[in-house]
A = this chain, B = another copy of it.
Amino acid sequence: MGQVNTPTPTSQPLARLFAVAFRSLVDGLHVALRDRGWNDVRPAFGPVLLACRYEPTSTTALAQLMGMTKQAASKLIDTMDAAGYLARTVDTSDARQRPVALTTRGRELLAVVDEIYADLEQEWATVVGQVEVDHLRATITRVLGLESGELPPVRLW
């Protein structure tokens, strides 16, 4: 992926470092969830929980957010519904829509995810300092040109 003549950690391609960093955070989250008894949470649940945090979200919107087909998003919603984290609702102004809303259990999970994830990022701050973490965040945001817009769809799980 990257031209590395004498591969050392400090000369690893950024892509791989991003992949390892992402995996480290997500795996850390899921290990901590399981430690607390949340045994049926899959990585794909994360983006859905976040998307439904403030208001019910349509299947089409979730599909776009996650870069998958409406059918696949619907299947994922079915799985989370069966697990008790989401509930399908009806839209009084558009009968085609079946927005999904967090259940009480879904909100509880989201709260735990927030807490655990805050700890994980705090661990980063502990190693290099909060200023450095904020700088990291700002640099990546700048390069990706995300200062003013929504994040693009991304699926990594």
User: Which A positions have Cβ atoms within 8 angstroms of B?
Assistant: 1-4, 9-26, 29, 46-47, 49-50, 113-115, 117-118, 121, 124, 127-128, 132-133, 136-144, 146-152, 154, 156
Q: How far is the CA of A121 from the CA of B3 in the complex (A)?
A: 11
Contact at B10–A156, with CB atoms within 8 Å? Answer: no
Given A9-B146, A147-B10, A17:B140 Cβ within 8 A = yes
Contact of A24 among B16, B29, B144 (CB under 8 A): B144
- Per DSSP, chain A at the interface is helix
Contact present for A141 and B12 (CB under 8 Å): yes
- Counted per complex, copies of this chain come to 2
Residue numbers in B under 8 Å from A133 (CB-CB): 14
Which residues in B have their C-beta under 8 angstroms from that of A127? 142-143
